[in-house]
Structure 1
């Protein structure tokens, strides 16, 4: 009798995706203790009979979620899981479901032979036909998927490998995992049921496009479909008018009027779903509001960066890079997507703000999707003092404290994911959220989220497109770095930074943590953790960025001993730290930083209100850039100075040329 290859292919990870890891562990213990069911196979219909009379029936061509169980539980209960475990065990012992021996010729089309070969032979979800998709999904979801394909969408395809036999596709707002090879019914979408019925078709077409591209890499990022061209513009032209006004009179002179104009343009772009421009307009509006309220949150460099980003995305979409339009504009992104049951691992937090407000971001690794999500909370002082770091840690999301979420394992049924990967956890009595300490057991995270080779990570970061035109996703560079040693730990009083060298199994990174009034205890707590006071340092999580040809790490959490230390929520201890040598001078970085501050003045003051000596200062800055070898950046600054003197219509373009070039150069230093 041919075995049920689909059932044999359900390993423990796949079962945990269908049920949860706790159910799988309990079911495994009961089967190992001899309390498993008796399983029979009648022409492909599996029947599991339990000692207490519970009966599970799994007919042919039926997925486990649709198996009939006589117990009152909904979903994939432990009885259904035990059916699979017992059937697998019987196959291992030579009973029902035992695949053919190696020297036994298998019948053509024998699913047992297919299952045996699946681990070695390459398989792609792109092999599913459109007819199979329509039969599985229905006409309406497939029609919605075809509309999305015509518009174009971005996807990251992870092919099945011997180490990880589950193929997956990350779409803009959800992830699709193909738990069983050649079984469409086991394609799992992490969006809530009914929210993204078209996602499976989009994932299959993405795999099909990746297969046809000839790219044999295990992970392929690509755009699928899309018939738009640059001739019709980007759709973000209204933003350019706002930027032109800011460059004319500056944030300082037009704060109230600029806020009104930004709000009107945001509504227009929301209607056509230019998601990344909507997102950056929110950031720009926050900067304008911060200046209007005289908040320390206002940063002229940030305001200028957002203005330059708006122009860069428009240029990329209209300048012959039509294949990048989906990624650059975010047109296929869904504002929010409710997710089904999630298992997340806290990777720490970051707090920033001023005396009027604090913003906390908690970073959560979503292992199944191989991405990091961010939970964001903003707390206003409301006329009093801003909340302390410890008080922020006691704030709740889904009835769990942020400090516990940042350091624990989270299981939630009430998460909603935004396009920029910010996740919102609702306070629901029906869809509960539970948190348990993780103990820093991050070894179970997928390789995509755990860095062991920092030299390879530096190469990966260097190969990324400029951040000005990448997808605007929060925590895209947050990873857990496996640590073998912490060296040269010291404090730099001049820059108020804790610095150390983090040694991984392959390569090193420079850890840099800057003191902030919003997190007065962070440096002390981080120093204690890195020095080994709380146990051996096993992982450091944080934001990775390329610097000086290597990698810099801004830490968010440390897994030391059996604890996870989240410095952002620590109380100040007042301990004295040993001082180290000051940071060496970096002539290139200093030249670029000075030029960026100079060109950012146009967004802050406006070219109509620049100080009389601005053009001369720009010329001097260009000369410094030229002496350091950055001749193209120097020419761009010179051209901007000439445009300011002339006051012509080309000033906006010359400012964008200079500021965009300087921002991209700064990323590569």
Structure 2
């Protein structure tokens, strides 16, 4: 048989899983190993035909995607016969894959070479691709040496699995392949390769045929209106304080949201929505009260950063990020997805004065994207139906939080929320295993706490990152437990474990007691103590404070099973004795006083502060200056000197600077 289909030989097992599903690949390998091997025939033009013993015939022509192959079986879509055709062809030509690289090196993948083939796509697909390009989208291009390239669009991910054919590119949108996102990714790779040959990682902004290349975010009436409305909202929150009735902020929030929507700035809209929900959570005394100080400071900083990126571009310099990517210009609010494999990362329960609920995080192993599923119910039902016992799509919430699922019809919203259709939403749910987590890619899964520190130091600040997914959730290995203890005063279980290699490989764990999940801390303590089935990995939310990383566990994985802490139904043992609490140094104490001062202003309002408050700010400024925090001290002095006409931008800058200092990652410059 003449070798005419090199693109089929390049498809790895992981690629076939992405192009079909794990079940088809597993069953196909089993049938081939048992002797059910189809007869292959290849025509002169390269068309392959597989004839099976049961009479089924599968045909795959050149320049056809795998799902476009014809098959006479009864399946309405993808089937195992298509997968068996590829696997049979690979076995028949074992060792025949093309290799045009130099000895000891692998050839660089070049998706831009398919630019001329885009003309073969339907006109409607090319038109939609141009419409996306006209929005000036930022696309994250990755082309690692010798590895398959990928393109991360704001709401879709494209992966290329064959050097020889564009038809085996995979998109996670509902189309799956040969869609407008694949076309846009090929265009972006071609243009980026011309500008920066040999790149491995690049943020590329598409070139619009309608939008001028120059010009900043505030050069339009919509952009300027958004900036002004955000400033008005920020001034109101700082001056009045969020302890005031929510009705006092409704009009300002509404104006700011409408202005952000009018400018089509998705990440600004998302931040405003989070901020409003956070104020409501504060008013309701919710257990999931978000960091409002960080949200408010980050909102102003996002707009400032976008303006600075535009200034650099207009001056002929290359900004770290296009300003359109910073504000999320043109990002769709929702995208339909193809069949999804999802691996659970954990669950957190919550409650306020009116409702109780849960949030479950999932990851797509193919893309590494993180999605979440949020539900809430009336608080009066909590005693009879705890959150982890509620049924979601016929499955118990605790099972979903500790399992792997397949979704047939899903949509992803811009904030990362997973929306499932009313019918055929989940087809299976199987228990989570350590191998499922090991298949998840970086940066979600890290080899240790030292590697996590390196990653956190290098990534951009939060005020310029997209808001489409949680970005402080990670999986880390556990190589041994050092010590644990229960802090009764703070109502927290503290522990320290070894995670990965390196000198500084100690990872602190910390979990607070919660009425929504009353037995989580007991289960965590028991898992840290047991030796017959030791811990191997843990997932959780990572935070940095005073130069130290701390992980709040969600799921603790042993060698045999996954334990969802918030789904623990009963007490399992006593809590350990308290650990000696390390005393912070004087510089950290000063930063803590600065944090308390800022939160006091945000909660109670600047206009209601008395003379003694400003005197305390003056004293704190002197102490901060003594420990080298000169910029913080200068801004605090302005509180004392300009009480009546203090610019709100000063408070936003003060809050952002404090957050950068307190939440710095170990080893990062101060």
Measure, in 1, the Cα distance between the counterparts of 2:76 and 2:431: 27
Q: What is the rounded CA distance, in whole Å, between the counterparts of 1:196 and 1:397 in structure 2? A: 34
Q: CA RMSD in A?
A: 2.9
Rounded to whole Å, the distance in 2 between the matches of 1:502 and 1:13 is: 33
The answer to whether structure 1 residue 232 and structure 2 residue 219 are counterparts is: yes
Q: Counterpart of 1:497?
A: 492
Q: What is the 5 A alignment of 1:59-98? A: 59-92=61-94
Tell me which of 174, 179, 182 is aligned to 1:200. Answer: 182
Cα shift at 1:511: 1.8
Retained in 2: the 8 A contact 1:526–1:567?
Answer: yes
> In structure 1, what is the Cα distance between the partners aligned to 2:447 and 2:497?
11
Give, in whole Å, the separation in 1 of the partners of 2:80 and 2:105. 26
| Correspondence for 2:394 among 390, 395, 399 | 399
What's the CA shift for 1:643? 2.1
Structure 2 unaligned blocks of 5 or more: 314-320, 666-670
Deviations 1:134-163 (A, max 9, x none): 322x3343344334334322333232554x
The residue aligned with 2:114 is: 128
Paired residues for 1:133-212 under 5 Å: 133-136=118-121, 138-162=122-146, 165-193=147-175, 197-208=179-190, 210-212=192-194
| CA distance, structure 1, for counterparts of residue 22 and residue 558 of structure 2 | 25
Distance 2:464 2:99 in 1: 47
Distance of aligned partners of 1:628 and 1:433 in 2 relative to their CA distance in 1, 3 Å threshold? farther
SS of equivalent to 2:241: helix
SS in 2 for 1:128: helix
| Deviation sequence 1:66-96 (CA, Å, 0-9, x none) | 211111112221111111111111112xxxx
Confirm or deny: 8 A CA contact 1:406 1:566 kept in the other structure.
Answer: yes
Equivalent of 2:647 in 637, 651, 655: 651
SS for the counterpart of 1:252 is coil
Give the number of aligned pairs. 640
**TM-superposition CA deviations, 1:290-336 (whole Å, max 9, x none):** 455x534596x833433222211111112336644233211132211
Q: Is the 8 A contact 1:158 1:220 kept in 2?
A: yes
| 1:241 matches 2:238 | no
**Most deviating of 526-535 and 6-15:** 526-535
CA distance in structure 1 between the aligned counterparts of 2:38 and 2:102, rounded to whole angstroms: 25
1:437 to 431, 440, 452: 431
| 1:223 to 1:531, Cα distance in 2 relative to 1, 3 A | farther
Is 1:275 the counterpart of 2:257? The answer is no
Cα 1:27–1:287 change in 2 (3 A) is closer
State which drifts further: 511-520 or 317-326: 317-326
Name the SS of the counterpart of 1:568 in structure 2: helix
Q: Partner of 2:602 in structure 1?
A: 603
Partner of 1:565: 563
Whole-Å separation in 2 of the counterparts to 1:147 and 1:593:
49
Structure 1 alignment gaps of length 5 or more: 93-97, 101-111
User: Aligned partners of 1:365 and 1:289: how far apart in 2?
Assistant: 29
Separation (CA, whole Å) in 1 of partners of 2:462 and 2:393: 32
- For residues 662 and 199 of structure 2, what CA distance do their matches in structure 1 show? 30
1:54 aligned residue: 56
Higher mean displacement: 229-238 or 605-614: 229-238
Normalising to structure 1: TM-score of the pair? Answer: 0.88
Which has the larger displacement, 508-517 or 321-330? 321-330
Partner of 1:103: none
- C-alpha separation between the residues in 1 aligned to 2:273 and 2:178? 26
Cα distance, 1:214 vs structure 2: 4.1
State the alpha-carbon separation in 1 of the partners of residues 375 and 487 from structure 2: 30
2:307 aligned residue (318, 322, 337): 318
Change beyond 3 A, Cα 1:455–1:405: same
Looking at structure 1, the residues matched to 608 and 546 of structure 2 have their Cα atoms a distance apart, in angstroms, of 37
Q: Distance in 2 between matches of 1:10 and 1:519?
A: 45
Single out whichever of 470-479 and 204-213 deviates more from structure 2.
204-213
Distance 1:119 1:544, change over 3 A: farther
Aligned mates of 2:103, 2:13 — CA distance in 1: 19
**Contact 1:145–1:201 (CA<8 Å) still a contact in 2?**
yes
After TM superposition, give the deviation of residue 371 of structure 1 in Å.
Answer: 2.3
